[in-house]
């Protein structure tokens, strides 16, 4: 089994984990789920996270072959376009992103939004194989958190985004538009069908009980100790997940971030005064937790 080198970059502001996965033989690499810094209070953007990734790549003599999204994120902006401008590497996401674009096109009232995934250079189908150097990478469609979510299985590592978190933190929410607790259960079961020693890299960590941030577990560890899945039936999982989701507020950046992320990380075009603007729909999402 091929064993890629994996470096993680934790963004404490959003609890997001970004990855550089590389082939130790060829020094080719891919960047997964990079964060573009955004401060909603001032409207400021920055490239601190992305520049740290670029510094790591330069320091280790790596060459970027791919910039990969697992899904359109609801809690941070994607830095895919900034990193493409710096590296020339193509961007990619799962082909079901078209359905997410259609949902949010309606919510944002964007009649001119292209819902064909053309904002990325490559759309991956379920089961598709691609390469990072000599590493084989396989795409698994993993819906539930969003209908477009995918997992990247690269050698003995799987990048599982918002499906399972660390075993002490359970699973991801499934109540966003297009989400489904039943679909999430099925996606989790497909991940847990990988070999027990598969390294699992999650997309977020919220430092349960104040511990240090962490992001790597194994299939065996998740099966044995994650209380959301260990010993549970599909019915029990759906009840737990849906009950918990009803208590959760929407992410503070969801309406800011999705309009960027359904466009592959492209920021809005400058207007006549040279500034870019976000569009925030009022009363678009139900179930606010006041």
Phi, psi (degrees; rounded to nearest 5) at 204: -145, 155
Distance CA(143)–CA(226), nearest Å, equals 19
This prediction has a pTM of: 0.96
Distance CA(219)–CA(222), nearest Å, equals 5
Across residues 19-41, what is the average pLDDT? 98
| Cβ atoms of residues 164 and 191 within 8 Å | yes
Distance CA(77)–CA(70), nearest Å, equals 13
At 33, the pLDDT band (50, 70, 90 cuts) reads: very high
Distance CA(116)–CA(119), nearest Å, equals 8
pLDDT tens-digit readout, 228-282: 999 999 999 999 999 999 999 899 999 999 999 999 999 999 999 999 999 999 9
Domain locations in the chain as residue ranges: 5-261
pLDDT tens-digit readout, 203-228: 999 999 999 999 999 999 999 999 99
The fraction of the chain above a pLDDT of 90, given in percent, is 96
pLDDT at 263: 98
Return the number of other C-beta atoms located less than 10 Å from residue 289's C-beta.
Answer: 8
What are 75's strand-pairing partners?
none
Is the pLDDT at 147 greater than 60, yes or no? yes
Return the number of other C-beta atoms located less than 10 Å from residue 216's C-beta.
Answer: 15
pLDDT tens-digit readout, 156-179: 999 999 999 999 999 999 999 999
pLDDT tens-digit readout, 62-119: 999 999 999 999 999 999 999 999 999 999 999 999 999 999 999 999 999 999 999 9
Choices 3.40.50.720, 2.10.25.10, 3.60.15.10, 3.40.190.10: CATH for 5-261: 3.60.15.10
Question: What is the separation, in whole angstroms, between the first and last Cα of the chain?
Answer: 49
Helices (H), the chain: 48-59, 80-87, 97-108, 181-192, 219-225, 234-245, 254-261
pLDDT at 1: 84
pLDDT at 284: 86
């Amino acid at each position: 089994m091929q064993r890629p080198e994996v470096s993680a970059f934790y963004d404490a502001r959003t609890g997001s984990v970004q990855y550089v996965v590389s082939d130790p033989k060829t020094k080719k690499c891919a960047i997964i789920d990079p964060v573009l810094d955004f401060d909603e209070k001032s409207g400021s953007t920055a490239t601190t996270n992305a520049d740290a990734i670029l510094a790591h790549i330069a320091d280790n003599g790596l060459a970027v072959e791919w910039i990969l999204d697992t899904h359109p994120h609801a809690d941070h902006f994607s830095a895919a376009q900034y990193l493409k401008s710096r590296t020339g590497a193509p961007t990619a996401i799962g082909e079901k992103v078209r359905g997410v674009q259609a949902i949010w096109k309606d919510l944002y009232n964007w009649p001119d939004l292209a819902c064909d995934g053309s904002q990325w250079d490559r759309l991956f189908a379920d089961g598709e194989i691609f390469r990072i150097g000599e590493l084989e990478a396989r795409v698994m469609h993993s819906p539930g958190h969003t209908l477009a979510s995918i997992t990247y299985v690269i050698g003995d590592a799987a990048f599982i985004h918002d499906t399972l978190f660390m075993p002490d933190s359970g699973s991801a929410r499934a109540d966003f538009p297009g989400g489904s607790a039943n679909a999430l259960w099925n996606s989790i079961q497909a991940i847990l069908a990988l070999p027990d020693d598969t390294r699992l890299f999650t997309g977020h960590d919220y430092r349960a009980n104040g511990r240090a941030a962490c992001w790597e577990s194994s299939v065996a560890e998740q099966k044995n100790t994650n209380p959301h899945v260990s010993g549970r039936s599909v019915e029990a999982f759906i009840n737990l997940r849906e009950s918990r989701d009803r208590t959760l507020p929407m992410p503070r950046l969801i309406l800011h971030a999705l309009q960027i992320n359904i466009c592959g990380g492209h920021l809005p075009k400058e207007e006549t005064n040279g500034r870019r603007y976000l569009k925030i729909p009022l009363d678009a999402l139900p179930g606010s937790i006041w």
